[in-house]
Structure 1
Amino acid sequence: MPAAVDLDTANKALTIGRSTGYALAKRDEYPVTVLKLGNAYRVVTAELHRLLGVQPEEAVGCSAPST
């Protein structure tokens, strides 16, 4: 997963409507950190995971050690 995702993706994960999500981001009231990069909003993935209580894979693409 990338370090940041677009606001639409974060809105879907948080079940926030598109208009509401953009309004919250514009007012600096979004529930996690939003980065404004030019005309685009990006949400920090680690904070999104933390808010959702999701544990990202620690080693993506690595298999568990065999016993």
Structure 2
Amino acid sequence: MAQADQEMTHEELMTLPVTVPLETANRALGIGRTRGYDMAKREAYPVRVLRHGRRYTVSRYDLHRHLGVADEGDVHGRAEAA
């Protein structure tokens, strides 16, 4: 399967849980599995990676921030309505 076919849609990004496995973050960022794990181990991943024993997770907040995606209820960076 081509990597472009695996990329996440905006709707999928908006419905992610608070933390996601590294494989899900890889998909959201368009990074392959092997490269993503290698980057996480070398502390070179594009967003903060949380390690839980042998598992790696990434926060939805960090993914959204890196990708420039804002939740509909997020008012940060928006001008206040008059």
- Specify if TM > 0.5: yes
Listed one character per residue, the Cα deviations across residues 16-46 of structure 1 (whole Å, up to 9, x for unaligned) are 0000000000000000000010111000110
TM-score (norm 2): 0.66
* Runs of at least 4 residues off by over 2 Å: none
Identity, % of aligned positions: 53
**Which structure exhibits the higher relative contact order, with contacts defined as CA atoms closer than 8 Å and separated by 6 or more residues?**
1
Q: As a proportion of its length, which structure holds more strand?
A: 1
2:55 aligned partner, one-letter code: A
RMSD (CA atoms): 1.4
Q: Which runs of 5+ in 2 are unaligned?
A: 1-15, 75-82
The alignment partner of 2:23 has SS state of helix
Q: Which has the higher helix share?
A: 2
**TM-score under structure 1 normalisation?**
0.80
Deviation at 1:58, TM superposition (A): 2.1
State the partner residue of 2:9: none
Any stretches of 5+ residues in structure 1 without a counterpart? Answer: 60-67
